[in-house]
Structure 1
Amino acid sequence: METDTSKRDILFLSDTQAPMWVERLVLRTHQNKKATQVIFNEILRIQPAVLYWLGDIVSLGYRNSKWRIIDQFLLKCTEVQTAVYAIMGNHDVMGRPRKGARNFQQRFPDHIHTGYVKVTDSIAVIMLNSNFSILSIADLVTQQTWYQQTLEDLDNDPSIKVVIVTCHHAPYSNSKLVGSSKLVQQRFVPPYLRSQKAKLFITGHSHAFERYEFDGKTFLVIGGAVACVSLSIRRQAAYPI
């Protein structure tokens, strides 16, 4: 990743949660906490215009103690005038989903659990909730209807040049632990492929950096990493954890 990123760049970050005790028993941690802090420091050095956080921010969202490091980082982002928007991953609502969602909403008040969109210059970023199991049928219908209409509206908006679609769970991944999400493939991928301006589909969940090309569209997996996308969409890179 180039280090001369300008203030006009936007960053995408995912899966910063510290390993749970059961994960430490069966998986190597690779100094995850230290690596996450290094990434936080680099983001603060770059001072992007916007940071989009794609879920699994903490290991257990309902536990207040898990948010301490995140709160410190968010405060520093405010100090350097980097806007931060986020969506929930499975860890953020694990165990006690209602409390986890409340803790999440306190940190990210712009978040809408049935999807929302943010625009930086001419780039629109659609942020979707792929925690389907905790959404009601009404919420699922609301999100799908909103998503499809939003893509159509953005295609017809002359001020928007590029659309980026995001959610937490990866539609395609070679991970042996989490694999590909069939539901994301069924619900979110087809509208993305139909959109004229949608060029990138960025997700996390799988702790890897993966890139796929289907039907002329790009899919990135950045679980445990930060990706930089310049406003000219000329650069895509990542720091893997």
Structure 2
Amino acid sequence: MISTKILYKAVFKKNPVDDSHTFQPLPSPTGSYPYRLNLEVKSDNPRPQAMVFHMVGDTGGFKQPDLQKQIASQMAQQYLQAACPEERPAFLYHLGDLVYHYGEADQYEDQFLKPYESYPGPIYAIAGNHDTDVNPNSSEHYEPLEAFYTAFCNTCPATLHFGSGISRKSQVQPNVYWTMESPLATIIGLHTNVPKFGCIKKEQQDWFIKELKHAAKYSSEKAIIVCMHHAPYSADVNHGSSMPMVEFLETSFEAAGVKPDLIFSGHVHNYQRFTKQYPDGKTLPFVVAGAGGFDELHALADPEEPDYQTENELLEQVVLENYCDNKHGFLRIAIEKTPFKFTIKGEYYTLSGKNTENNDHEARLFDEFIVDLTGR
């Protein structure tokens, strides 16, 4: 019997369910337009040559809480064991779904605050669909994103009322979609709302187009990174690729005349790294990192199965470069800029196995990639 290896690729699910009614209205911004947050440089050097940060998505969950504790512990160890200050992550950027299955305040302590109490650095975030959704059976009324705003979009660092004995203060992001301006990168965070394949309205798209144009003015000095919860491209069985998110990005890139250097997402509970080749010669990586702790991982789909389609112009020139669908993990991103090179290096680390009793077992490097921006 001859066995053939499946050639996995990005897929669309056939006959997707229309759940647009789950869209939730957004709260008012806590900061002023255009919702930018300048990251302070904690260094004597006003123009640092390197910046390192962690990135992870979909860390919440309650069936196997040790999984998110292990992920948080491994990132904390990388922070504490950094060989020099330049190797120490400046922050953790969360790609959404801190809590499941709804964004209730009483879920934050066990699913996020306690597991990440040991993480030494600041944590920034975009909200996922579960963080945004409202539990229809809740005994107490609350607004969409109410707890997320308390934790991440406060006007000043404050003690979180839903975290007993927790030292971490609230973050001061200016809006649910916002831009982080750092010395080596402009990181644009989108909010993709609740529907299964995401939904972004015109007001946010107009903002995004302007932010891409603004970031392009500094592209010789800063990388342009886009973060969104719903994955544009995916090869998994549960979600597949998101046609609304792909169309949103492509129309925005065309309107702005700008493409970013890297796009990160979560939502799909695994790791996938795609590249898309554009007619202008640009190769754009799309990285899915949604295996941050929720117990259920999403396997990849056989593209020949009748429930999936791969023949679509939106999937042309999209290649799955690497994936991991059976282990939890996180990203370590390093940006380096010298007079001779300008690179973004990504490393994806996975937990070594399913032993949830040993939080100190070292994570293993699974994949690494480099985006070379030298000379632009």
TM range (shorter): 0.7 to 0.9
Aligned residue among 218, 221, 229 for 2:333? 229
Matched residues in 2 for 1:85 and 1:67: separation?
Answer: 15
TM-score, length-scaled by structure 1: 0.79
Tell me whether 1:56 sits opposite 2:94 in the alignment.
no
Matched residues in 2 for 1:132 and 1:90: separation?
Answer: 4
1:46 is displaced (CA, Å) by 2.6
Matched residues in 2 for 1:184 and 1:61: separation?
Answer: 22
1:220 is displaced (CA, Å) by 0.3
Q: Which residue of 2 is the match for residue 27 of structure 1?
A: none
Matched residues in 1 for 2:116 and 2:60: separation?
Answer: 15
SS at match of 1:142: helix
Q: Which residue of 2 is the match for residue 182 of structure 1?
A: 243
Equivalent residues of 1:86, 1:111 under 8 A apart: no
1:221 is displaced (CA, Å) by 0.5
* 5+ residue gaps, structure 2: 1-49, 80-88, 137-141, 154-172, 278-282, 292-328, 337-342, 352-376
1:125 is displaced (CA, Å) by 0.8
Matched residues in 1 for 2:253 and 2:78: separation?
Answer: 30
Matched residues in 2 for 1:144 and 1:184: separation?
Answer: 11
Tell me whether 1:101 sits opposite 2:142 in the alignment.
no
Aligned residue among 57, 70, 74 for 1:42? 74
1:101 is displaced (CA, Å) by 0.5
Equivalent residues of 1:16, 1:58 under 8 A apart: yes
Matched residues in 2 for 1:181 and 1:158: separation?
Answer: 28
Equivalent residues of 1:105, 1:111 under 8 A apart: no
SS at match of 1:235: strand
TM-score, length-scaled by structure 2: 0.52
1:66 is displaced (CA, Å) by 1.7
* 5+ residue gaps, structure 1: 1-6, 21-31
Alignment of 1:110-189 (within 5 A): 110=173, 112-113=175-176, 115-131=177-193, 140-157=201-218, 160-189=221-250
Matched residues in 2 for 1:39 and 1:195: separation?
Answer: 34
Q: Which residue of 1 is the match for residue 276 of structure 2?
A: 214
* Aligned residue type for 2:190: L
Deviations 1:132-160 (A, max 9, x none): 659xx9x8222101101111111012674
SS at match of 1:99: coil
Aligned residue among 72, 80, 83 for 2:114? 72
Equivalent residues of 1:123, 1:162 under 8 A apart: yes
1:234 is displaced (CA, Å) by 4.2
Deviations 1:209-233 (A, max 9, x none): 1111112110000111321110124
Matched residues in 2 for 1:120 and 1:11: separation?
Answer: 15
1:93 is displaced (CA, Å) by 2.2
Q: Which residue of 2 is the match for residue 195 of structure 1?
A: 258
Deviations 1:186-241 (A, max 9, x none): 11244358525x21100011111111111211000011132111012442122346
> Which is helix-richer, 1 or 2?
1
SS at match of 2:207: helix
1:11 is displaced (CA, Å) by 1.2
Matched residues in 2 for 1:160 and 1:49: separation?
Answer: 18
**Structure 1 residues 159 and 107, CA gap change in structure 2 (3 angstroms):** farther
Q: Which residue of 2 is the match for residue 16 of structure 1?
A: 59
Q: How many residues align?
A: 216
* Aligned residue type for 2:236: S
SS at match of 2:114: helix
* Aligned residue type for 1:148: I
**CA RMSD, Structure 1 to Structure 2 (Å):** 2.7
Equivalent residues of 1:61, 1:100 under 8 A apart: no
Larger Rg: 2
Equivalent residues of 1:208, 1:240 under 8 A apart: no
- Seq. identity, %: 23
Deviations 1:93-137 (A, max 9, x none): 233395350111111121512x21102321111100111659xx9
SS at match of 1:227: strand
Equivalent residues of 1:212, 1:218 under 8 A apart: yes
Equivalent residues of 2:103, 2:130 under 8 A apart: no
